[in-house]
Structures are given as structure tokens and as C-alpha cells.
Chains A and B, each alone.
Chain A
Amino acid sequence: DADVTQTPRNRITKTGKRIMLECSQTKGHDRMYWYRQDPGLGLRLIYYSFDVKDINKGEISDGYSVSRQAQAKFSLSLESAIPNQTALYFCATSDSAKGTGAYEQYFGPGTRLTVT
């Protein structure tokens, strides 16, 4: 089984709908991240969480919210979806306590979201 899983893998929704993307990890990492990827723009950080009680905004947090339900779960919500939120969304994890491998990020397979 994959270490970092994302659900759903594909989602089509309408403008104004609230949707939630979920991420789970079995790596035992303390840190989790949400990114979006747009063609030609690279990956941009939406939110990140260093532990269950520590959540921080990234570069492009407007229109998004997150919930860290447990160390292994980090959800991203679009409160009222709009077409320019159509993108590929990635969850990632890293471990702050792993010596020379600390902070190496591992990515999930992504969720392709289309807002019509």
C-alpha cells in the first residue's frame, strides 16, 4: 500500500460547492503539506502543518481551509469552489526527526480537481 494516499483521485464539481480533499499517511511523519500545481506555474504551497496543533498558511491560502484530524490525516477544504481552483492538488509529508534524512518530502499521487 502507498505511504501517502489521497482521496478522491479525480473530482468534478460546480462553482459554489464546498468540497473536501483528504490525505492520509502511514509514514509516521509529523509534518504535512498541501500544494497545488498549475501548468506553467509549478507547485505552490497552500497550507502546512508541523504537528496536530500547528497549522500555517502558505503562499496561496485564500479560499482554502485545512483540518489536521490526527497526525496521519490532513484535509483540505474549498469553502466555495471557483473555476480558477481547477488544478492538481498534492499532499506531502516529512519527518523532522530523522537525522540526515530530515525534512525529505514524500508526495501523494495527487487529486485532479475540475471546477465548472
Chain B
Amino acid sequence: KQEVTQIPAALSVPEGENLVLNCSFTDSAIYNLQWFRQDPGKGLTSLLLIQSSQREQTSGRLNASLDKSSGRSTLYIAASQPGDSATYLCAVGRGSTLGRLYFGRGTQLTVWP
């Protein structure tokens, strides 16, 4: 069974800092990895999708990397802003059951002015 772990569980930083959120998974036979953002009481918004053949994806101030062999992904947020405050979820899709995602429990980020 695929286990997904996110560290840290919570993070509080001042505005302007660059920060890294970590995700690890136990089974390296993944198809893709997706990072989501969730605001309190709201749905999930897809931030970045990395296919298993890719090493990284970038969108604006966000950069996600993937190292399948070590079972790790990182989400890098540059020049953080208070509007980045949310919970960030990592999810992996296994190759044997295409379409299913296995989620971590998330990192709750607070960026204060």
C-alpha cells in the first residue's frame, strides 16, 4: 500500500521568505504526483502535476520537484505572501491503478505580514 507523508505538518513564516514543503512516498512505482492547495472549508485546487518521467514543474512562484528513486517531492514557494496561507496537500498516483490518488495529510502554512 502506498503511504504518503508530508513534513512539516505546520509551518509559520514571515512574508517574503522562500520555503520548502516536503512529501515522501513509500512505493516508487508512481504514475504522477500532484500538489494541491486547500483553503479552510473549501475544495482542493490543483497547483502542479508532475508526471513520473519529469523532474520538476514550475508555475509562477511555485516549483515542484520529483525524485522517484528516493520517493520524494518538494514544493518550493518563492517570496511567500499572506495569500499563500493554506493547507498544501501532496498526492501520488500509482502506475498499477491509474487515476487513483493517495494523499498525505498536508502541511498547514501560515504566512504573516
Contacts and interface: CB of A to CB of B under 8 A. Distances in A.
B61 interface: no
Nearest to A110: B43
A64 interface: no
A104 B43 contact: no
B64 interface: no
B72 interface: no
B42 A104 contact: no
Contacts of A107: 36, 43-46
Interface of A, secondary structure class, is strand
A100 B103 contact: no
B28 interface: no
Given A50-B99, A100-B51, A104-B49, A90 B44 contact: yes
B51 A43 contact: no
A98 to B, nearest CB: 11
A40 B101 contact: no
Interface string B31-66: 110101000011111100101000000000000000
Interface in A3-58: 31, 33, 40-45, 48, 50, 58
B99 A96 contact: yes
A31 B43 CA distance: 18
B106 A104 contact: no
Given A41-B105, A100-B51, A112-B41, A106 B31 contact: no
A105 interface: yes
Given A50-B99, A94-B99, A42 B106 contact: yes
Given A50-B99, A112-B41, 19 more contacts: A31-B99, A40-B105, A42-B106, A43-B89, A43-B103, A44-B103, A48-B99, A90-B44, A96-B98, A103-B31, A104-B49, A105-B46, A105-B99, A105-B101, A107-B36, A107-B43, A107-B45, A109-B42, A109-B43
Interface of B: 31-32, 34, 36, 41-46, 49, 51, 89, 91, 93, 98-101, 103-106
